[in-house]
Amino acid sequence: MANSINVNIVSPGGEIFSGEADSVLVPGSLGQMTILPKHAAILSSLTKGTITVNTKDGKNTDFVIDSGFIENINDSLTIIIENLSEDQ
């Protein structure tokens, strides 16, 4: 698992996405962030924008959100969102 990130996207309604990814692009409060394998531990808020999960099979999966938080520790990325945006 050293070359991937275990990604979990959850909302109060339940799990939205769970799987391994090569990278994840998130709309951080201070700007876009790309989370890669072996990224330093981070806890950050998210703003309205698009989360892009680049999965191990080469596909990009997008989730449009209004707000949320991320936590990354030891290649385990948890993204907590209030809900998916109406634009989804």
Domain ranges of the chain: 5-81
Mean per-residue pLDDT for 68-79? 97
C-beta separation of 67 from 33 below 8 A: no
Checking if the pLDDT of 88 tops 80, the result is no
Structure tokens at 84: 């998916």
- Residues 20, 1: contact at Cβ < 8 Å? yes
Indicate if the pLDDT at residue 45 is higher than 80: yes
Average of pLDDT values for 32-41?
Answer: 95
Please state the rounded mean pLDDT for residues 42-69: 95
Mean pLDDT in the chain?
93
Q: What are the CA-CA distances from residue 48 to residues 1, 10, 61, 73, 75 (Å)?
A: 30, 16, 17, 23, 24
Range 5-81: architecture per CATH: Sandwich (2.60)
Determine the average pLDDT of the residues in 39-68.
95
3-14 average pLDDT score: 95
Could you identify the residue written with the tokens 């989360």? 51
